[in-house]
Amino acid sequence: MQEKPTPSTKRRLSLLLFIFIGAVIGIVRADEASPNFILLLVDDLGYGDLGYTGNPHTPTPNIDKLAAESIEFKNGYAPAPQCSPTRAAIYSGQYPARVRITHWIPGPGEEEMAYHKQYKGIDLPRQRGALPIETVTIAEKLKTADYATAHIGKWHIGEGEFEPVNQGFDQQPGYSPGAAPPSWFSPYGLDTLPDGPDGEYITDRLTTEAILFIKENKRRPFFLSLGYYTVHAPLTGKPENLAKTQAKGFGTDRLSKPHAHFEAMKMSLDQSVGDIMTTLADLGIEENTVVVFTSDNGGVYKHANNLPYSYGKKSFYEGGTRVPLLIRWPKVVPAGSASEEPVNGIDFYPTFLEIAGVTPPANQPIDGVSLLPILKRPQTHLQRETMFWHYPQLARDHGITVPPQGVVLQGNYKLVWPYHPDEEPSLFDIADDPGEKESIASQMPEKVETMKALLKQHLLETDAQMPIPNSLF
């Protein structure tokens, strides 16, 4: 005869069952509350440089597939038309004006090339040389929820004590303090990246490092920030891809467009995106991974495709700030959906934190807003009426001069306010005139004054650095 369980045995079995059920529920809840995050941040990629945005030159099938599985933000903006301020803004969740990084950060020997002291008699301010160490980065906040973190590749917002490993990241393979790596091919000349086989291409290697990190952390939540150096100058394509683009008749002259090296670099980027997405699928974690794909600013207009927008990198025309932006999260985001809502790279910080259930830092203003409502319902409108850009310096590069100015976007209207008192503002309706060909400021003086007041308020609230004297203060 089978022995009946005693009351104490029953209690022990009930307790074990309770613990088991609780553990299972906890695992499910942890999975739901703690998705992985991958930020694919490309360098100098123009809005129209991809297949899904209409580029006819070089197929980008893997990125196009990502777009088909994502929500596409058709009005996605970079926080700045240059790399350093955009990156500082993304990792802090703050406008460049507040961070006081509004210009690219020069490396050794680049100071004089980077900064101008005056513009038409007005004094121009200097900026911070790195993202302040006291800034609570998105990586630091996610680490409080036991996220593994890695920054791979381009950083360009500080070196030494300001490196990624001192800003919340567990590791930083491929980190270099400058705008581009010392070499696109191994030997790389980087202390943070052991050399591979001679001739190994750095885009491929960064992807290999990213895949290794993903595999090592497949059983815990992770945040991977992958900063590709491509398609930044010096334009340098992998030989086998370069052979394909040259076979299409693309040239390698400095002003060639389409440019054979540029198009070859895009091919490597597309192959890398495909490899990362395949890894997520093979590991069975793609459903619970939020993938963001975007660029740090518009492309260099001499060889990138920023159409239908004007100019590109460093300019405050739409070509300089409008960028590709995709977010894929199969659990939540309807595949192939789109949003017309204007959004900004500063929004990634509060979005990731809300998804992960992490509270924002108590004593640090966050200028971005969470995009989670749009991810759930793509037709949602955010409770945000304006976005701002601030540039108190001077840029002379890529054949254009960018004077000190502030920009306000309110609905379809975009005000460009020069900080020099002798220069006139411009107002554009970017819905009717996306190329910003004709200012309507003289036709709408009241709108100009209203938007000017919004800009002034923003600069005061962010304690922005300003040229002296200037037309706003």
pLDDT value of position 12: 52
Residues 38/218, Cβ–Cβ less than 8 Å: no
pLDDT value of position 344: 98
Q: What is the DSSP string of 391-453?
A: E-S-EEETTEEE-SEEEEEETTEEEEEESSTTS--EEEETTT-TT--S--GGG-HHHHHHHHH
Amino acid at 353: L
Question: What is the maximal distance between C-alpha atoms in the chain?
Answer: 103
Nearest alpha carbon to residue 266 among 296, 298, 292, 304? 304
pLDDT tens-digit series, residues 343-363: 999 999 999 999 999 999 999
Upper half-sphere CA count for residue 441 (Cβ side, 13 Å): 17
Report how far residue 427's alpha carbon sits from residue 458's, in angstroms, rounded to the nearest whole number.
18
Residue 34 tokens, joined: 């703690």
Residue 451 tokens, joined: 């938007």
Report how far residue 172's alpha carbon sits from residue 24's, in angstroms, rounded to the nearest whole number.
34
pLDDT value of position 327: 98
In the predicted model, residues of the chain with pLDDT beneath 70 are: 1-33, 398
pLDDT value of position 471: 87
Task: Give me the domains of the chain, ranges plus CATH numbers.
Answer: 34-381 (3.40.720.10), 389-461 (3.30.1120.10)
pLDDT value of position 32: 53
